[in-house]
Structure 1
């Protein structure tokens, strides 16, 4: 299977990890040889409830047996999508009440950018240096790394950049700005949290000049930081909220949410200001609804902060320079990229799945399912410490 994977399936990089997946349950992935891998990555923050969670599986199976795709988005009232949007509105602060369901996080970013331009009548979008919001043309235009963009230019015009957590840059948000789009916690840059009420200050500046604050919760959302959405930790409410990844327990989805009045502007002048064939797909929406119900009726979200403490208490080693992030959105920073690579590649050999961050080469991602147990945390952390000791032993001067 691996040979066919490399031959027939287009690749995203030159050296894929290449695990030949047989099945996955809970916190584990199993390969065709029966080897188990403890998953500290959760499909890059997507498998919120672990692999094959029974409530998600049941929701998918029941909905698939009832009906699947019946019409393009926004024409028919379909129970799973309606219930999902309603439950989201009940969980979100005002005025976030109207949700547009799409197929991925990057598609949701595209929709949010369009909505900010439509609502303000302006053309300028401001993003953060070292940002990552997705890889479609509009989302890539917001990326703060020229070496990743230059092969695909020309990209969208009218994009400007500010430095995350730099209050002096807020003056660059002006009456020409339609929207300021920020990751609530910068992901690819190294899981960098906002400091000194930074997001509140950005929102205040947006209000002063009539711009909209768009917060990208594609990674922090759905309980990963100890609240349903990361922005709830920082006492600020965005004008447009973007979500994806962990929203549907491993099924492909994205969404953007705003006020009813703002979102209604996409309906006319012109009609169909945003449209998708498969957005709000009933099977995917059923999975997302089951995921959201599980998160909002159990203590899983609250547990993430206790599990964070457990990780931090265990991951103490001279080669670990810092642990960034919040809840179960964590990154360990080691001495250099070589140590990070060693952890990821050798960890896989020992049955532990770790992964890199996009731009911070010294970082190793730890974003396990929210359902991970304390025993599984201890098992994986012990493997990390063993690997770091091996590195030290192999690199003694």
Structure 2
């Protein structure tokens, strides 16, 4: 199987981890030899309720028995996508009331950028250095990391960059700016959180020049930070909110949400301003609806901050220079990239799944399912410390 994987399936790096998967349940992924691997990554934050959650599986099977794809997005009234959009609105502050469902986070970013241009009639987009918003051409255009973009130029024109958390850069936002797009918490850059009311200041500046603020919550959204949405920590409501990953509960999804007034702009002049065949797919929407209900109707969000405290209490070691992030969106910062690589690969051999971040080579991702138990956290941290002790010696 691994040979076929390398021969027939296109790869994203020269050295994939190559774990051959048999099944997964709860906080564990099992290989074809039935070895259990404790999952501290959750599909890069995409499986917030762990693997094979019974409520998600039930929702998917129930919808499969009724119908799958019946029509392109936005034409037919389909209960799962309507109920999902309604539940999102009920859990979001005004004026975030209408949601456009897509197939992925990067597609949602594309829709959000188009909406901002349509609403303002402007072309300049401002993003942040070391930002990551996806890999389609528009999303890559607002990626703040030239090394990953240079091979694919030309990209979108009129994109400018500011430094995240730098208040002095806000004067670059002007009456020429259609929108500012930021991750609520910078992911690929190393889980950089906003400081000194940064997001609030950005929103104020956008309001002064009639630009829109787009917040990308594809990673921090849906309980991972100890709030349903990361922006709730920072007294800043975006004009357009982009979500994905965890919303699907393990199924592929993206969404962008804004006021009804803004969303109406995609209906006309021109008509079909943003279209998709499979966005809002009923089976995926059913999975997302079950996921969102479970997150909002249980104590998982409050437990997230308690689990963060446990990680910070246990993960004390001379080689851990810093723990960045909030809730269960954490990154261990190692002294060197080489130590990061050793830790991730050696933990894999010991049955613990860790992963890298895109742009910070010294970071080790810890983003487990929100459902992870305290004993599982203790078990995983014990493995991490044992590996670090060997590296140190």
TM-based fold match above 0.5: yes
CA distance in 2, matches of 1:330, 1:5: 31
Deviation at 1:296, TM superposition (A): 0.7
1:78 aligns with 78
Once the two structures are superposed, the pairs formed by residues 188-203 of structure 1 within 5 Å of their partners are 188-203=188-203
- Whether 1:13 aligns to 2:13 is yes
CA distance in 2, matches of 1:197, 1:276: 37
CA distance in 2, matches of 1:41, 1:194: 23
Deviations 1:15-67 (A, max 9, x none): 00000000000000000011110000000000010001000010001101110
1:384 aligns with 384
1:293 aligns with 293
Q: TM-score by structure 1 length? A: 0.99
- Whether 1:61 aligns to 2:48 is no
CA distance in 2, matches of 1:156, 1:293: 38
2:332 aligns with 332
Deviations 1:218-263 (A, max 9, x none): 0000000001000001111000000001001100000000000100
1:66 match: secondary structure: coil
CA distance in 2, matches of 1:248, 1:65: 19
CA distance in 2, matches of 1:288, 1:338: 38
- Whether 1:139 aligns to 2:131 is no
2:164 match: secondary structure: coil
Deviation at 1:193, TM superposition (A): 0.2
2:217 aligns with 217
1:107 aligns with 107
Deviation at 1:163, TM superposition (A): 0.3
CA distance in 2, matches of 1:328, 1:194: 16
Once the two structures are superposed, the pairs formed by residues 28-43 of structure 1 within 5 Å of their partners are 28-43=28-43
CA distance in 2, matches of 1:345, 1:296: 35
Deviation at 1:332, TM superposition (A): 0.4
CA distance in 1, matches of 2:88, 2:128: 27
1:133 match: secondary structure: coil
2:323 aligns with 323
Q: CA RMSD in A?
A: 0.4
Once the two structures are superposed, the pairs formed by residues 309-320 of structure 1 within 5 Å of their partners are 309-320=309-320
Deviation at 1:120, TM superposition (A): 0.6
- Whether 1:47 aligns to 2:47 is yes
Deviation at 1:266, TM superposition (A): 0.2
Deviation at 1:98, TM superposition (A): 0.3
Deviation at 1:145, TM superposition (A): 1.1
Deviation at 1:355, TM superposition (A): 0.1
1:159 aligns with 159
1:275 aligns with 275
1:122 aligns with 122
2:65 match: secondary structure: helix
2:236 match: secondary structure: coil
CA distance in 1, matches of 2:155, 2:28: 40
Structure 1: where are the runs of 5+ without partners? none
In the alignment of these two chains, the number of paired residues is 393
Deviations 1:313-332 (A, max 9, x none): 00000000000000000000
Q: TM-score by structure 2 length? A: 1.00
1:139 match: secondary structure: helix
2:265 aligns with 265
- Whether 1:27 aligns to 2:27 is yes
CA distance in 2, matches of 1:60, 1:10: 28
CA distance in 2, matches of 1:38, 1:190: 22
1:320 match: secondary structure: coil
Deviation at 1:358, TM superposition (A): 0.3
Deviation at 1:144, TM superposition (A): 1.1
Detail structure 1 runs of 4+ shifted over 3 Å in the superposition. none
Structure 2: where are the runs of 5+ without partners? none
Once the two structures are superposed, the pairs formed by residues 177-196 of structure 1 within 5 Å of their partners are 177-196=177-196
Deviation at 1:118, TM superposition (A): 0.5
1:156 match: secondary structure: coil
CA distance in 2, matches of 1:244, 1:315: 29
